[in-house]
Structure 1
Amino acid sequence: MTEASLSLTEYGPWMAARLAPAVGQALAASRIVEARPDVDGPGDSTRWQVRALNYVGAVRIGGVELRITPKLPIRRLFFLLGYAADPRGVQRPIGGEVQVDQERDLLPAVAHAFERQAERAVRPGLLQGYRHTEESTTVVRGRIREHDQLRRRFGLTLPIEIAYDEYTPDIAENQLLHAATLRLLRLPGVHLDVRRRLLALRARLADVRALTTGQPLPRWRPSRLNDRYHPALRLAELILNSASVEHHEGTVRIDGFLFDMNKVFEDFVCVALREALRECGGRTELQAGGIHLDEAETVRIKPDFVWYDDSDRPLAVVDAKYKAERPEGFPDADLYQLLAYCTALRLPAGHLIYAKGSAPHAAHHIRNTGIRIHQNALDLDQPPDALLADISRIAAALGAISDKAS
């Protein structure tokens, strides 16, 4: 079968596509999208129905390029991603001055923004720093590690165990830029002119080691010295930490770059609430652990966001849902979940926060409990200042609830 391209929209309608049976089965098993054989078709095994869910981005599977466009404008999505990664850097958005809305698809926009930011970062020259190295060699350099020499060499003169600090461009900042560059070059949908500039960037980073797949990303610390790298590094980490797909499903290889919109929304809401409540005292916990529903502590629950006072008494609980959960037979599953959180934490109220269009504003007073559940609809397609103002209003409501509870 010849290579094909399939374009979908996040949570859009089912679309018909011709896919090799192995490719269709791999796509269905990957859970990136919903895929099923087209039983209403003419009985052709290459006809499939495909629908996008919560993932957006691009993926290549068995020679088929699948692109999933977010409903949210690219510039708004960039703000959500950047704010969740670094709320204090909101004045330096991850897209910088690049006009990301010129792109309709996410991956070309990300690749274009990263290439521009990385080029600006390295234009004055590669950042260099000291890297501590320990190795076995026949030449003395730095200092001899006497303990290791005796323990490993049993009195032999060579090789020599040494340690030294080397001033080199092979540091965490450049390793992250290098790894993000390599990843983008492997993915479908990057424009040719951007790909050429990424190849030039890879050449400039030729002396930087490639990161090992599966290993944690190297840590870097913001400082005055690496200030010009900050926008590119935030983008690099987003590219490398995205819900990337790179594995084999049966005999078909899947390679892609994806964002889970459920997680993007949840991360943004929780970080923005934390920032809005920072001056109110207490502490906030994202993905709060150590909470159980039952007395025997066998049923563990994990709220998205809990606000505690200085004595660790719960003040408020929030659950962020990008899309309302309505599984068959349980149309109000989100309400049941938040009711469990409020019960376990002994709170009189809880807040559900949805993306606008997924659920309306509402308040539910739960019978025989005295618990009130508030549903808040957050409009993501508005300027950052207005969006953060809406978050501040929700934070103020949390404060009002905690005042009544005390």
Structure 2
Amino acid sequence: MTVVELAEYGPAVTRPFPDALGRALAGSRIVEATPDPYTPGNWRLRAGGKVGAVALRVPGVEPVTLRITPKVPIARLFFLLGYAMNPQGHREGAVHLAEHSEVLPALALTYERALERALRQGVLQGYRHTEEASPVVRGRIREADQIRRHHGRTFPAEVSYDEYGTDIAENRLLRAAAETMLRLPRVPGDVRRGLRHHCVRLADAEPLVRGHHELPRWRPSRLNSRYQPALRLAETVLRGSSVEHLPGGVAVDGFLFDMHKVFEDFVCVALREALASHGGRSVLQAGGVHLDEDDVVRMRPDLMWCGHEGRPLAVADAKYKAEKPAGFPEADLYQMLAYCTALGLPEGHLVYAKGNAPRASHRIRHTGVVIHQHALDLDRPPDELLTSVAALARRIARDSVI
């Protein structure tokens, strides 16, 4: 198997690939893949904002594995991810990841440790609601389904019942994520042994169907509080892992983090937590915001800070990297101006990762609206990074009146 090492938003790498493989890489949209104009038979590959590892298999061609390394240290990536999932408990059971330089081994170790802590007090039990056709009557007979499906016959009986045991949504998620990690490459041997042990403990939980995108739903409660860190990480594993089939029998299997989403989730949650001490209420991915008076054009600001009776006080959008599509070189500014106009706000805030956009303030002609560009330095230690977010929250609160 051919292995190609790439860096997030790094320089392009040229490799000799069959045209079928090159076209499959281009179609996958995992990386930018274009034919090398100077050397026939070679393809230029450049990574964007997705990091991790994937294997791509094309019929009749040697498989290729892409390993994409993030710009930030692995430990910082997992801090951003963990804080966004659980800002109060992101430090609990922290795993030392400084020795890891790849995403997959670090993710596998983090999940195995979280799963071990979740199962330390035993496998969680609960009630699972089931509706089925049964040869015996248990629970309640669903009369309408019985008549519609069986036309007066007594058996099988359409019944519904609640059964107490370990086959619940929480255990299904944990088992499925562990099995997913075991299928991925470069998972350390000791971590594999731990994951297999946990899978045995969760054997009574029904396995999830591969390729089924609807994950079991669970609700946070006092009873599953010890499970929650592992559950949030399991959902991340299952949503980031992929088994996709492209046209022509091309298969893509692996795990990827979208750094744009990781950064956006961290900024929104960290800002929400920091603004809480200033009063008001923060709404993430706010709905019900429209650009036009007929409420046809919908908008979803990343964060909207509201005061009494839900009156908007400030709006912010997190942008890992400045968008500069052809013809619209300052698309982020246009978007923020639309937010400020629709919400009746004099200021808006764009938050970038340092190095992807400069700090600046723009006063928009004939409107009085000022759009501020802020930059967070992801190379700083976690405590200093959170201090920077707190300083940004103070500035937003200072310029707004509750």
Pair 1:159–1:16, CA change in 2 (3 A)? same
Tell which deviates more after alignment, 20-29 or 327-336. 327-336
Match runs of 1:108-119 below 5 Å:
108-119=105-116
Tell which deviates more after alignment, 202-211 or 387-396. 202-211
- Structure 2 residue identity aligned to 1:56: V
Q: Following TM superposition, by how much is the alpha carbon of 1:265 offset from its aligned partner in structure 2, in angstroms? A: 0.8
Contact 1:243 1:260 in 2 (8 A): no
Question: Is the partner of 1:68 in helix, strand or coil?
Answer: strand
Confirm or deny that 1:48 pairs with 2:43: yes
RMSD of aligned residue pairs (Cα, Å): 2.4
Contact 1:281 1:310 in 2 (8 A): no
How far apart, in 2, do the equivalents of 1:299 and 1:221 lie? 33
Pair 1:18–1:311, CA change in 2 (3 A)? same
Question: Is the partner of 1:50 in helix, strand or coil?
Answer: strand
How far apart, in 2, do the equivalents of 1:152 and 1:293 lie? 49
Question: What does the per-residue CA deviation read over 1:169-225, in whole Å, with 9 as the maximum and x for residues that have no partner?
Answer: 111121011110122223233234433433333333222111244353223334444
Tell which deviates more after alignment, 72-81 or 119-128. 119-128
Aligned length: 396
Q: Following TM superposition, by how much is the alpha carbon of 1:8 offset from its aligned partner in structure 2, in angstroms? A: 0.8
Tell which deviates more after alignment, 381-390 or 253-262. 381-390
Q: Following TM superposition, by how much is the alpha carbon of 1:288 offset from its aligned partner in structure 2, in angstroms? A: 2.7
Pair 1:282–1:224, CA change in 2 (3 A)? closer
Contact 2:286 2:302 in 1 (8 A): yes
How far apart, in 2, do the equivalents of 1:331 and 1:165 lie? 57
TM-score, normalised via structure 2 length = 0.89
- Structure 2 residue identity aligned to 1:64: V
1:79 aligned residue: 79
Contact 1:353 1:378 in 2 (8 A): yes
Question: What does the per-residue CA deviation read over 1:3-41, in whole Å, with 9 as the maximum and x for residues that have no partner?
Answer: 101111111100112323222111112221111111111
Contact 1:285 1:307 in 2 (8 A): yes
1:211 aligned residue: 208
Match runs of 1:23-38 below 5 Å:
23-38=21-36
TM-score, normalised via structure 1 length = 0.89
Which residue of the other structure, out of 337, 345, 348, is the alignment partner of 2:346? Answer: 348
How far apart, in 1, do the equivalents of 2:140 and 2:348 lie? 60
- Structure 1 residue identity aligned to 2:167: D
Q: Following TM superposition, by how much is the alpha carbon of 1:128 offset from its aligned partner in structure 2, in angstroms? A: 1.9
Match runs of 1:150-161 below 5 Å:
152-161=149-158
Confirm or deny that 1:57 pairs with 2:52: yes
Question: Is the partner of 1:217 in helix, strand or coil?
Answer: coil
Contact 1:176 1:217 in 2 (8 A): yes
Pair 1:137–1:312, CA change in 2 (3 A)? closer
Pair 1:153–1:239, CA change in 2 (3 A)? same
Contact 1:287 1:304 in 2 (8 A): yes
- Structure 1 residue identity aligned to 2:99: Q
- Structure 2 residue identity aligned to 1:136: A
Tell which deviates more after alignment, 193-202 or 100-109. 193-202
1:235 aligned residue: 233
Question: Is the partner of 1:336 in helix, strand or coil?
Answer: helix
Pair 1:308–1:142, CA change in 2 (3 A)? closer
1:171 aligned residue: 168
How far apart, in 2, do the equivalents of 1:347 and 1:362 lie? 18
Question: Is the partner of 1:121 in helix, strand or coil?
Answer: helix
Pair 1:382–1:207, CA change in 2 (3 A)? same
Pair 1:289–1:156, CA change in 2 (3 A)? closer
- Structure 2 residue identity aligned to 1:257: F
Aligned-residue sequence identity (percent) comes to 60
Q: Which runs of 5+ in 2 are unaligned?
A: 58-62
- Structure 2 residue identity aligned to 1:362: A
Moved over 6 A (4+): none
Question: What does the per-residue CA deviation read over 1:28-66, in whole Å, with 9 as the maximum and x for residues that have no partner?
Answer: 12221111111111x2x2x11101101011111111111
Which residue of the other structure, out of 129, 134, 142, is the alignment partner of 1:132? Answer: 129
Contact 2:28 2:246 in 1 (8 A): no
Q: Following TM superposition, by how much is the alpha carbon of 1:290 offset from its aligned partner in structure 2, in angstroms? A: 3.4
Pair 1:17–1:316, CA change in 2 (3 A)? same
